[in-house]
Amino acid sequence: MTKYDEEALTDEDVEYLIHTLKHPTREFGLDELRKKIENPITLDNTEIDGNAVILGVVDNIEYILHVYCGDPVLPKPKYSVHLRFKKSNIQLVRVDIGGRHTNPGEKVAKAYPHIHIYNPNYSKKDKVAYRVNTEDFPNIHNIMVTFENFLKFTNIHDQSV
């Protein structure tokens, strides 16, 4: 088993870690997140904000899978789904829908659905964003569909399904 320095991954390491099989550490980890996404409005809560601990099957790396949506009843909600290393809190992959972003060298923030993938060329590893590929994320207007596509993109497999 290879040990990874989470602050100094290569592009090849990132590609490998994104595509390696991962499972929730608890059987109901993903189900709890799904319930929050499907039923976000309760008497005391008007946001989706949840985590599940994910374990890399081959490399034994612990990740946090996080979903956040400040106000899910807005006509165009703003939300994000990300996978970060539990140990360092550095993000491996993050999808942002409804937000703005300024890449290095740009002067004006642009609003477009985008994905951040760990980039070894910057000290802030998620500094660069790319337009979301519609083949990977065909329906960004539905947070549940995006969540399920994110699981597929990051090779997270639900053991309870």
Q: Note the pLDDT tens digit of each residue in 63-119.
A: 999 999 877 666 677 899 999 999 999 999 999 999 899 999 999 988 999 999 999
**Distances, alpha carbon 105 to alpha carbons 111, 128, 131, in Å:** 16, 10, 16
DSSP string of the chain?
Answer: -----TTS--HHHHHHHHHS-EEESSTTHHHHHHHHHHS--BTTB-SEEEEEEEEETTT--EEEEEEEES-TTSSS--EEEEEEETTT--EEEEEEES-EE--TT-SS-EES-EEEE--TTSSSTT--EEEPPTTT-S-TT-HHHHHHHHHHHTTB--TT-
* Distance, CA of 27 to CA of 52 (rounded, Å): 10
Give the pLDDT of residue 125. Answer: 95
Question: With 70 as the cut, is the pLDDT of residue 42 above it?
Answer: no
Q: Do the Cβ atoms of 22 and 85 come closer than 8 Å? A: no
Question: With 90 as the cut, is the pLDDT of residue 153 above it?
Answer: yes
pTM score of the predicted model: 0.85
Least confident of 53-62, 66-75, 140-149: 66-75
Q: What are the φ and ψ backbone dihedral angles of 123, each rounded to 5 degrees?
A: -65, -35
Largest CA distance in the chain: 47
- Stronger pLDDT, 72 or 34, i.e. the higher one: 34
* Distance, CA of 10 to CA of 61 (rounded, Å): 16
Question: With 80 as the cut, is the pLDDT of residue 40 above it?
Answer: no
Q: Do the Cβ atoms of 3 and 20 come closer than 8 Å? A: no
Instruction: Give the mean pLDDT of 14-40.
Output: 80
Question: With 60 as the cut, is the pLDDT of residue 43 above it?
Answer: no
